[in-house]
Amino acid sequence: MSDSPVPVTVLGLGLMGQALAGAFLAAGHPTTVWNRSAAKADELVGRGATLAASPAAAVAAGSLIVVCVTDHRAVRELLEPLGDALPGRVLVNLTSGTSREARENAEHTAAQGATYLDGVILTIPSGIGTPEATILYSGPRSTFDEHESALRALGPGATFVGEDHGLAALYDAAMLSVMWGLLNGFLHGTALLGTAGVSATSVVPMLGQGIEAVTGWIARYADQIDAGVYPADDATIDTQRAAMQHLVEESRAAGINGELPAFVTKLADRAVAEGRGGDSYAALIEQFRKSA
Amino acid sequence: MSDSPVPVTVLGLGLMGQALAGAFLAAGHPTTVWNRSAAKADELVGRGATLAASPAAAVAAGSLIVVCVTDHRAVRELLEPLGDALPGRVLVNLTSGTSREARENAEHTAAQGATYLDGVILTIPSGIGTPEATILYSGPRSTFDEHESALRALGPGATFVGEDHGLAALYDAAMLSVMWGLLNGFLHGTALLGTAGVSATSVVPMLGQGIEAVTGWIARYADQIDAGVYPADDATIDTQRAAMQHLVEESRAAGINGELPAFVTKLADRAVAEGRGGDSYAALIEQFRKSA
């Protein structure tokens, strides 16, 4: 790790790219930027950034190159012509994508003589550079360690998740699945209570308590999953399936969408059919592991 | 509220009924119990409970009657023959059921001259009587207030949710929907990371952070839902739908079950088709409100 801020380059100045470049500037890094439409650089240039005339010129100016563009195709289109400029550089791709795309980028980048870190930003642009900004990185540990201080300019929650380049994307996917699961449960429950005149706002405190309780169980379920045994200390899948059927019934009786509880029940039905009715909810991991 | 513990009766001594009777005994209430198979009362009798010879005798001995049996049918079979014994009693039904069943019980009970509270226990038997025990009650507010001190023997978190007898069951349903949503997201994410060799246990801390963040957004989304406007301060449904499609792709590529993200995507597709792509995730409430 170096004490004097390394020169960095940010390719792509959408809202997120602008926030990233701004955070590097705020931390004292010599910052070069490039964007397809140069006007987006105006404010950053006013704050001391250098606008490069081309991606190649931008890459030549930095030792740490951060890419944040629309999608994987835009990443490839940007990087492929840069063969000459890349050797010796460290490329950090913060564009959203899949684990397969991350591994593909790593291969291409290696062929171009550069080192690759894949990253996933778990915050909105206004969170960049603040304590809320968690960014997950995967790729060579030594590269992450070497550049950690620069990466921490984007957020103190710079977190290394593993050497497999696909891991940051997989962690992101897992967190999104939890997020949508939680939000959909909240929306379904709120729709249900809404039919009895209960406002969404008044439901929140109690749901918050419930979420906290369930978060506590998750640690115990994780132990069961890793051990491959699912003792039902709390409630069996059989018992929960009866409650799921109630929820389908409640939804139908209230005239709201019952697809979510029907989906949940279908998973439990399969687990019961495989003899898991007496196990804890964690045994449903087996259903999720199967290709549908 | 009375200062000397009122005589209570507990009908049904499954694991939960035994825990309820035990908590009343611990709080000094004269406690009468009844169960179809009397042997389940042995331990409670050893601790000072009175075993009644019939449901009618049990009901005659208490002013507050708690029912905790297998299901709604068992409740009806137990209570219907008790016409003579019920007048003037307060019946608290803690058997799991739907809001419709709760309202039906309230009508029958009123016809039998008693007052009805429906309740939902949000803990496992070993949690009864401890600070973790939240129990939700719905029915006449004055009845809850009058018996709150006795009900708090079962858990200090005795919470009145409204006069509509169906509300406790609806809150329970909403909380279960959140719970299963969260757990299924966790299991899907864990299955996904498992394909890259990541243990469930090592995923938990990061998911915990994510859950905490999402819980914070829920309050803001609730405000949007009550206001009926869904400004996308964070991420639009369009943006999230792209990430959902990634998650379907990740699941397929990893060879695991992709039904959950496919379901989530389907909901977002519908919202986008209705012109909600530029709104926040909270706009999906409209999809949940529709009968499927």
First to last CA, chain A: 46
* Average confidence (pLDDT) over A238-261: 94
Q: Which of A2-6, A17-21, A36-40, B42-46 has the lowest mean pLDDT?
A: A2-6
CA–CA gap between residue B99 and residue A250 (Å, rounded): 7
CA–CA gap between residue A65 and residue B236 (Å, rounded): 28
pLDDT tens digits for range B20-68: 999 999 999 999 999 999 999 999 999 999 999 999 999 999 999 999 9
A8-164 sits in which CATH class? alpha beta
| pLDDT for the residue numbered B213 | 87
Cα A202 → chain centroid: 30
Q: What count of CB pairs under 8 Å joins A to B?
A: 333
Which segments of chain B belong to CATH 3.40.50.720?
Answer: 8-164
Please name the residues between 110 and 129 in chain A that touch chain B, using a CB distance below 8 Å: 122, 124
CA–CA gap between residue A33 and residue A12 (Å, rounded): 8
CA–CA gap between residue A103 and residue A167 (Å, rounded): 9
pTM: 0.90
- Looking at the DSSP bridge assignments, the partners of residue B86 are none
Chosen for mutation from B123, B201, B209, B246 (greatest number of chain A CBs closer than 10 Å) is B246
Q: Is A39 on the interface with B (CB under 8 A)?
A: no
Please judge whether A190 and B124 are an interchain contact, meaning their C-beta atoms are less than 8 angstroms apart: no
CA–CA gap between residue A230 and residue A220 (Å, rounded): 10
What DSSP string runs through A8-45? EEEE--SHHHHHHHHHHHHTT--EEEE-SSGGGGHHHH
Low-confidence ranges of chain B (pLDDT < 50): 1-2
* CA distances in angstroms from A75 to A22, A101, B38, B256, listed in the order given: 21, 10, 72, 27
* Cβ-Cβ contacts under 8 Å, B170 against chain A: 192-193, 195-196, 198, 250, 254
Å between A72 CA and nearest CA of chain B: 11
Are the CB atoms for B182 and A160 separated by under 8 Å?
Answer: no
Helices (H), B112-199: 141-151, 167-194
Are the CB atoms for A96 and B243 separated by under 8 Å?
Answer: yes
* Average confidence (pLDDT) over A242-269: 95
| pLDDT for the residue numbered B4 | 85
Closest CA to A48 of A16, A19, A26: A26
Burial B211-228 (b: 16+ CB within 10 A, else e): bebbbebbeebbebbeee
User: What are the two backbone dihedrals, phi and then psi, of residue B133, each rounded to the nearest 5 degrees?
Assistant: -80, 105
Please judge whether A188 and B167 are an interchain contact, meaning their C-beta atoms are less than 8 angstroms apart: no
- pLDDT exceeds 50 at position A143: yes
Please name the residues between 156 and 185 in chain A that touch chain B, using a CB distance below 8 Å: 159, 162, 164, 166-167, 169-171, 173-185
Å between B155 CA and nearest CA of chain A: 15
* Cβ-Cβ contacts under 8 Å, A200 against chain B: 221-223, 225-226, 285
CA–CA gap between residue B134 and residue A68 (Å, rounded): 47
Which segments of chain A belong to CATH 1.10.1040.10?
Answer: 195-288
Pull the structure tokens for residue B86.
Answer: 């019920």
CA–CA gap between residue A228 and residue A79 (Å, rounded): 44
Pull the structure tokens for residue B228.
Answer: 């009926």
- pLDDT exceeds 60 at position A2: no
Question: Which option is the CATH number for A195-288: 3.40.50.1110, 1.10.1040.10, 2.60.40.10, 1.10.510.10?
Answer: 1.10.1040.10
CA–CA gap between residue B13 and residue A260 (Å, rounded): 33
Q: Residue B288 is nearest to which of A99, A188, A207, comparing CB atoms?
A: A188
| pLDDT for the residue numbered B292 | 67
| pLDDT for the residue numbered A167 | 97
DSSP secondary structure letter of residue B48 = T
| pLDDT for the residue numbered A233 | 81
Q: How confident is the model at residue A151 (pLDDT cuts 50, 70, 90)?
A: very high
| pLDDT for the residue numbered B132 | 83
Pull the structure tokens for residue B217.
Answer: 């957004």
CA–CA gap between residue A175 and residue B19 (Å, rounded): 37
Mean pLDDT (chain A) is 95
| pLDDT for the residue numbered A164 | 97
Please judge whether A176 and B243 are an interchain contact, meaning their C-beta atoms are less than 8 angstroms apart: yes
Please judge whether A250 and B187 are an interchain contact, meaning their C-beta atoms are less than 8 angstroms apart: no
Q: Residue A182 is nearest to which of B99, B174, B185, comparing CB atoms?
A: B185
- pLDDT exceeds 50 at position A1: no
Side-by-side strand order, sheet with A64-67? A50-51, A31-34, A8-11, A64-67, A90-93, A115-121, A134-138, A157-162
Q: Residue A214 is nearest to which of B179, B243, B282, comparing CB atoms?
A: B179
* Cβ-Cβ contacts under 8 Å, A169 against chain B: 246, 250
Please judge whether A210 and B287 are an interchain contact, meaning their C-beta atoms are less than 8 angstroms apart: no
Å between B229 CA and nearest CA of chain A: 13
